[in-house]
Structure 1
Amino acid sequence: MIGVRGLSVTFQSKGREVRAVEDVSLSVAKGESFGLVGESGSGKSTILRAICGLAPVTAGEIEIGGAPVPTPRGKGFAERVQMVFQDPYASLHPRHTIDRTLSEPLAIHAVGDTDQRVMQALADVGLPTSFRFRYPHQLSGGQRQRVAIARALMLQPQVLLLDEPTSALDASVQAETLNLLSRLRDERGLTFLMVSHDLAVIDHMCDRVLVMQHGRAVEEMSRADLAAARMKTDYARSLFEASADRMLG
Structure 2
Amino acid sequence: MALIEVENLSVHYGAKGQLVRAVEGVSLRVDARESYGLVGESGSGKSTILRAICGLAPMTAGQIRIGGQPVPTPRGRAFSRRVQMVFQDPYASLHPRHTLDRTLSEPLAIHGIGGSDARVVKALEDVGLPANFRFRYPHQLSGGQRQRVAIARALMLEPEILLLDEPTSALDASVQAETLNLLNRLRAERGLTFLMVSHDLAVIDHMCDRVLVMQHGRAVEELTRDQLAGAQMTTDYARTLFDASADRMLGA
Please report the TM-score for the alignment, with normalisation by the length of structure 2: 0.98
Equivalent position of 2:141 in the other structure: 139
In structure 1, which of residues 222, 240, 243 is the aligned counterpart of residue 242 of structure 2?
Answer: 240
Matches of 1:96 and 1:24, distance apart in 2: 38
Q: Counterpart in 1 of 2:16?
A: 14
Secondary structure of 1:184's counterpart equals helix
Q: Is the 8 A contact 1:201 1:248 kept in 2?
A: no
Distance 2:31 2:49 in 1: 17
Of the candidates 90, 93, 104, which is equivalent to residue 92 of structure 2?
A: 90
Equivalence for 1:78: 80
One-letter amino acid of the structure 2 residue matched with residue 80 of structure 1: R
Instruction: Tell me what 2:193 maps to.
Output: 191
Alpha-carbon spacing, 1:41–1:135, altered in 2? closer, same or farther (3 Å): same
Distance in 1 (alpha carbons) for counterparts of 2:17 and 2:132: 51
Shift in Å, 1:248: 6.1
- Equivalent position of 1:179 in the other structure: 181
Match of 1:223 in 2: 225
Structure 1 unmatched ranges of 5 or more: none
Change (3 A) 1:132 1:166: same
Equivalences for 1:87-166 in 2 at 5 Å? 87-166=89-168
Distance, in Å, in 1 between the alignment partners of 2:140 and 2:249 is: 32
Which residue does 2:35 correspond to in 1? 33
Give, in whole Å, the separation in 1 of the partners of 2:98 and 2:34: 34
Matched, 1:210 2:206: no
Secondary structure at the residue paired with 2:123? helix
For the structure 1 residues 248 and 145, does the alpha-carbon distance in structure 2 shift closer, same or farther, using more than 3 Å as the test?
farther
Q: Distance in 1 between matches of 2:190 and 2:68?
A: 20
- Which secondary structure state, in structure 1, belongs to the residue aligned with residue 6 of structure 2? strand
Task: Classify the secondary structure of the residue corresponding to 1:91.
Answer: coil
Q: What are the Cα deviations for residues 164-208 of structure 1, in whole angstroms up to 9, with x where unaligned?
A: 000000100000000000000000000000000000000000000
Distance (Å, rounded) in 2 between the aligned partners of 1:248 and 1:204: 11
Provide the C-alpha distance between the structure 2 equivalents of 1:6 and 1:91, rounded to a whole number of angstroms: 30
Tell me, what secondary structure is at the counterpart of 1:88? coil
Question: Residue type matched to 1:158 in 2?
Answer: E
Equivalent position SS for 1:95: coil
Please point out which of 51, 69, 89 is paired with 1:67.
69
Secondary structure of the corresponding residue to residue 91 of structure 2: helix
The size of the alignment, in residue pairs, is 249
| Runs of 4+ displaced beyond 4 Å | none
Which secondary structure does the structure 1 equivalent of 2:92 belong to?
helix
What is the Cα deviation at residue 245 of structure 1?
A: 1.5
Distance 1:197 1:170 in 2: 15
**Letter aligned with residue 165 of structure 1:** P
Confirm or deny that 1:55 pairs with 2:57: yes
Structure 2: which amino acid aligns with 1:34?
Answer: Y
Distance 1:246 1:143 in 2: 24
Equivalent AA in structure 1 for residue 237 of structure 2: Y
Cα displacement (A) at 1:246: 1.6
